[in-house]
A and B are shown apart, each in its own frame.
Chain A
Amino acid sequence: MTFQKQGASTPRFTLNCRMAYEAAALERLCQVVRIRGFRVARMAVERVDDQLDIQLILEGTRSIEMLKSQLEKLHTVAEVTLPRQPEAVGERERATLASV
C-alpha cells in the first residue's frame, strides 16, 4: 500500500456496501478504496445468501462522494450508502490502523 502520512484531523467516514458474493469481491472493493485515496481503519463483512454486507470505516482527505461514485460503477456492487458524517481520527485509533 502507498504510504500516506495521516494528519491528526484526517476525516473519517463510514461507508456501507452491498455486493455480490463472488471471487475477488473484497479485493475489488478494497482496490478501489485504496486507489481513490482512502485507507481502511475497520472492516466488517457478513455473507447474506449470495450477497456480502460490508461496513467500512475509512480515512482519507478526498471526497467520499467520489469514492461512492466509483464503487457504484463496480458491476457487482448493488448499493453504497454513507450513513455518517466525517469526524477526525484520534491518536490512539490511528495507531491501530489496518492497511489493506
Chain B
Amino acid sequence: MNGAEQILNAFHRHSIDTVFGYPGGCIMPLYDALVDDVSVEHVLCRHEQGCALAADGYARASGRLGVCIATSGPGATNLITGVANAHRDSIPMLVITGQVPSGLIGTDAFQETDVLGMTLGIVKHSYLVTDAADIPDVMEQAIALATSGRPGPVWIDIPKDVLLQTSRARATPESSPESCTPPDLSDAIAMLHAARRPLLYSGGGISLAHCEDSFRRFAQVSALPAVVTLKGIGNAGKHHPDNLGMLGMHGSRAANRAVEECDLLLVVGARLDDRATGKLDEFATNARIIHIDADAAEINKLRTADLSLRGELSRILDGLADTLSARPLMINDWRQQCRQWHTTGGFSAADNDEPLSPITGPAFIRQLSRITSDQTVIACDVGQHQMWVAQHYEFDHPRHHLTSGGLGTMGFGLPAAIGAQFAARHSTVINVTGDGSFMMNAQELATIRRYRLPVKIIVMDNQCLGMVRQQQELFYNNRESQINLDDNPDFVAMARAFDIPALHIERTDQVRRGIQTILAYDGPMLLHVAISREENVWPIVKPGASNLEMIDESRASHHRKEQIA
C-alpha cells in the first residue's frame, strides 16, 4: 500500500466520505488512488480557496471534520485564506497538500513553497511527512487533534515521493478522547445566587462542543437573561423569552445595556473578542466574571475572571442546571427589566408597506426569516448584509448560521453554502451575499452547476463596499475611498451563463414573490436584490470605542457634524 492509499485508508476508518479539492502535480498520487475509491466523494471546486471554505462550511453545518486537498505551491497558498478562516473560528478541518519530492525540497523546485513554515500561525498543528510508514499515525493524530478540545485546522504536507512510497500497513492505535475531571461547581452556584443582575453570555463554543441541548436546558432552568456573540446566534433557540440577541459593535442596544448593568457575567464558550466587547476597559465594569471554556488559554486572556471553569461544557452546564433546578435563582425584577429593554431596544426594522418603495436590507432579511423554515441554513458573506442577517434573521440553531466571525473573509458565503449543502443534502441552503463578497468566489457557481446543488443565492447589491462606505461616512468625514462598484457585471446574466436561473427585484412589492420563487424552484437559483447605496447598519459602535457609545440612525447626523467640526 502506498502513501496515498494509506490516506484513503484513514478516511475510511473515520467515515470521511466527502472531501473538497483541486488536483495538481505533486498531489497526483492521491488523485490516482481516488479513481478506484468509491466510498469517498471528491468535490472539485474551481479554486483552492473555494475548497477550503467549502470544507469549512461542511464542518460548520454538520459538526463533522471538513477535509480539503490541494497540490504544492500555488495550490497550497490558495488554501491559506480558507484555513486561516477555520483557525480563527475553531473549525475542525484536515488539510492535505502535496509537496515537491523530498530530494527537491529546498532547491526552489517548480511549485515549491515552504508550506509548513508559512502556515504555522494559522493551524492548530501541522506535519511534514517524510516516510510513508508514518502516514497512518499522522492521520490518526491529525484527525484527533482537529476534532478534540478546541477544534481547529491541522495541515499535513506530503512530498510526492512519500505519497508513492510503498510501506507495510500496520495497526493504528485507537485514539481516545481527552478526559478531565469535572470542576467543582459550588463557587459558581454561590456566585449566581449572590448576584442580583446575572447575565448569560454565550458564543461559538456551544456548537463547537456539541452541547446545544445542555446549553438550552441550562438557559431554561436558570432563566438568566442572555446575550450572544455573532457566532453564538441561535444558541438559545428563537423562542427563548429572555434572549436579548447579539451584543457588541452591531449588537442591540438592549444587549449592550444589559452587559453594562449586570453584576455577574457568565461567559460560556466565548473569548471576549473586541468586536463583542468594544473598549475592554469599559466593558461590564460592574460585573464579576465566571468564564467557562474548553481552552485554558482563553481564560484571563483579555479580562481576568473571578472564577474560571475549564472542561467539557456539557457536563458543566448539566451540573449547573441540576443544582439550579432544585434551588432557582430569584431574579424576577432583573428579568423584567431586561425584557423591557428588549422591547424598546431590540433590533427593529419597520416593514415598509409602500409597494413601490425601494427594498431595505433589514426589512428584506426579516421577510426572508418569516418565509423560510426553521431548518434553513444561511451562509453569509462579510459586510452589511452579514450584520443584517445577524440582527434580523431569527435562527433556531447555531449550525444554521454560517458566518465568518473571526477572520471576516469576504467570499466565504458561496463556497460555505456548497459545503453546507453536501452536509445537509435535503435542507434549504441560502447564501446571502453582497455584491463585493459575491465577486470574491463567483467561480464556484460552476461547482453548483456541476453537482446540481439546489443552493439559493441572494445578492444584496448596493453597488459599493457598503460597510467600508458606512465607516468612511461616519468616521472619516464621508471621504469615500475605493468603495465604488457601480460597474458590477449583470449578475442575472452572469448566473444564467452558469446555467443558473436568476431574478432581479428592486421594489418592496416584489420581495415576497421573489423569495418564494427561488425557494420553490427545484435547483439552484439566484435572486438579485437592488438596495440603496446609502443604507447603513444600525446601531454601530466606532471601532475601539465603548459599547456604551452606540450610534444609531437618529444620532448619526449629530455624529457627522462632530466629525466635520
- Measured CB to CB, the residues of A under 8 A from B are 23-24, 27-28, 31, 35, 63, 65-66, 69-70, 72-76
Contacts and interface: CB of A to CB of B under 8 A. Distances in A.
Nearest to B299: A69
B493 interface: no
A71 to B, nearest CB: 9
Nearest to A66: B301
Contacts of B300: 63, 65-66
A27 to B, nearest CB: 6
A28 B128 CA distance: 13
A27 B116 CA distance: 10
A31 B301 CA distance: 18
A31 B120 contact: yes
A73 B130 CA distance: 25
Nearest to B125: A75
Contact of A35 (B117, B121, B299): B121
A27 B295 CA distance: 23
Contact of B296 (A24, A35, A63, A72): A72
Interface string B106-140: 00000000001100110011111010000000000
A88 to B, nearest CB: 24
A73 B151 CA distance: 12
B145 A27 contact: no
Interface in B288-313: 295-297, 299-301
B247 to A, nearest CB: 24
Contact of B128 (A23, A35, A76): A23
Given A23-B128, A31-B121, A66-B300, A73 B116 contact: no
B302 to A, nearest CB: 9
Contact of B117 (A24, A69, A70, A76): A24
Nearest to A73: B297
In the A-B complex, the 6 residue pairs with the closest CB atoms: A69-B297, A75-B125, A23-B128, A31-B120, A24-B116, A73-B297
Nearest to B149: A73
Contacts of B121: 31, 35
29 contacts: A23-B116, A23-B127, A23-B128, A24-B116, A24-B117, A24-B120, A24-B126, A24-B128, A27-B117, A28-B120, A31-B120, A31-B121, A35-B121, A63-B300, A65-B300, A66-B297, A69-B296, A69-B297, A69-B299, A69-B301, A70-B297, A72-B296, A72-B297, A73-B296, A73-B297, A75-B124, A75-B125, A75-B145, A76-B125
A65 B117 CA distance: 26
Contacts of A27: 117, 120
B120 A73 contact: no
